[in-house]
Each structure stands twice: as C-alpha cells, then as structure tokens.
Amino acid sequence: MAMSDEDRARRTRGALLSAAAPDVAEAAEAWLARLAHERRLSAKTQEAYARDLALVLLRLTAHLGARPTLADFAHLTPADVRAVLASRRADGVAPRTLVRLLAAARSFGRHLEREGQGKVGALAAVRAPKVPKSLPKPVSPEAARALADPATRAGEERAPWVLARDAAVIALLYGAGLRISEALGLTPAQVPPGVDAITVTGKGNKTRMVPLIPQVTAAIADYAALCPYALAKDRPLFRGAKGGALSPRIVQLAVERMRGALGLPQSATPHALRHSFATHLLARGGDLRAIQELLGHASLSTTQIYTAVDTTALMAAYRAAHPRA
C-alpha cells in the first residue's frame, strides 16, 4: 500500500527528531513550524528540508562522536561543515544534493540566530559546491501529442478508463504546463465540465490561473465519463486502480512504457512535458512574462532558461541546413 503524504512527512519528521539532541530537536520543531506558517512552504518542501537536516545531523554525529547540541552548532568550524559535505560526496551524491544539504543547514542556522540561540557562522563561510548547468530536455510536439494519445497504448491489457486517465494527466502536463503534483492535486470542483481555465495551487501554496485548450478539456471529460468511481467534488479527480488518489509513480511508469514504444530517450519524463509546454510556446512567439505566469515561476530568470533551449534548437537547425554552416 502506497504511503500517504502525511505518513511520509511524519516519518521524515521523526527521523529528524531522533537524529537530534533534545535542545536541537526542540529548535527543529520550531524551525519546521516557521517554514510552514511564515514562509508557507509546501508540505513536500518542508519534508525535503527535514530530511536534509536529518542527514546533516547524522553526519555531524559521526564526525563529532555524539549528537550535536545547540552549543555544538554554535562552535562548528568550516572544517566541520566541509567534513559533513565530504562524507556525503564520498557516498557518490551529486553536487546538487550537497547544495540542498547546505541550504537546509543554513536555513536552520538562520532560525537559531533569529531566536537568539547562537550564531552558526561556519555554515555561511563554506562555499556551496558548483552545480553544472543543464538545459531542460523537451520532447518534440509530435512525441508530446503521441504521449497524450490513448491510442498509443491500445495494445496494452489495461482498462479503457485507466488509459483515458493517464492520457488526461499527460494532456494537463503538456497542454497546460502543470507539474505532476499540481495535476494530481486537482479536484472535480476545480475542473467542471466545459471550463476553459482552472486555478492551480503550486509551490509555496501560490495560486495561478491556467487556461485549458479544448483538447485538454476533452481528455478530462473522456476520463470522467469512463471512470468507475464516483468523483466527489472535493476528492482527487484522478484515481488509482483501487479508487484512492493516483500516485505520481503510476504516471511515470506509463510514460516510461510509451517512450520505449515510441523510441524516445530516457529524458522523456512527465516533467519533460512541462518543459515542452514552455519551449514550444516560446518557439511560437509566446511572451516570456506570460509563460512565467503560466508556469508559476516566482522569478523570470527561472523561465529564461527556455530561451537557451530555443536558441540551441535554432542553431542546430541552422548548422544542419545552411550550405556554409
């Protein structure tokens, strides 16, 4: 049975508190409450912060020989922090993971300073590892349409409503640029029949308005008509085989099967469809600010990465076609 978000968050919180000395555990509880209520971070982001701080505490325990107290935190040296990062690097983790660990520790350190529980200057003194820049890898418009077409999976021994369900989710990812968590978080009340725009709750509980093209509303209507479960207005729109909320993993597996059949690379994931949404809009002359709003990006710089993707494709076409390239 799949673990619910609440159970997973509770387990992660428990792991954090068990890795901490009593005074650090108390401070960590207050820190997590601040992340939830003042910064309004999503439950998944809070869970990630808690998991990363728990890892830092475990590595500090191994390094110092005992669970670190608040006094230990205040006396950390840059060498202590580097030792923690080096131990994780030795495990083969990526630089991006090390950056995330350091960010969680720094956030907790800022909380301690704000509460007058000591300064942790060593965390700020250590430079974060460099993360190699990578461009999003969108799929072609033809591939995106094939992934959202139930006919692509016609040979699979699956119930028609399951194929229609997966197609509707994928249509939302590519046709509306939603994150998979946003699509699976929708309720029937948010997507009534014939609607041409929906309100989506994204990262940090921020809401945005997203238009729906007819192909997307048609895919959702097809799924709703075939779904064997009663779709209560305040329950999840997309259901699993036993009637519970649909797991993101099920959608990921569906895309994996289709990319094999379509000969697509491993980079063709559900999230790549969101990249494709942005890239294809930009290629058709879409306004960067408008795309930022549609994607729910807090910063325009996050959206600007798609201009690099579009330029890369343009230069590849130029080199392939121009006689003197």
Catalytically annotated residue among 179, 259, 275, 280: 179
Catalytically annotated residue among 49, 174, 223, 306: 306
DSSP 3-state of 208: strand
Neighbour-count burial for 32-54, b at 16+ CB within 10 Å, e otherwise:
bebbeeeeebbeeebbbbbbbbb
What is the C-alpha separation between 153 and 173, in angstroms, rounded? Answer: 18
Neighbour-count burial for 251-260, b at 16+ CB within 10 Å, e otherwise:
beebbeebbe
Q: Where are the beta strands (DSSP E) in 78-117?
A: none
Catalytically annotated residue among 13, 274, 275, 280: 274
- The residue with tokens 């495990």 is 91
What is the C-alpha separation between 73 and 112, in angstroms, rounded? Answer: 9
Catalytic residue flag (residue 274): yes
Contact 83, 105 (CB under 8 A): no
Catalytic residue flag (residue 271): yes
DSSP 3-state of 9: helix
The continuous run of DSSP H or E covering 308 comes out as helix 305-321
Catalytic residue flag (residue 306): yes
DSSP 3-state of 48: helix
Catalytic residue flag (residue 203): yes
Residues comprising the chain, all counted = 325
The continuous run of DSSP H or E covering 314 comes out as helix 305-321
Catalytically annotated residue among 82, 203, 235, 257: 203
- 17-25 contacts: CB < 8 A, separation 24 or more? 19/54, 19/57, 19/58, 19/61, 19/67, 20/54, 20/57, 20/67, 20/68, 21/66, 21/67, 21/68, 21/69, 21/70, 21/72, 23/69, 23/70, 24/57, 24/67, 24/68, 24/69, 24/70, 24/73
**Catalytic residue positions, numbered:** 179, 203, 271, 274, 297, 306
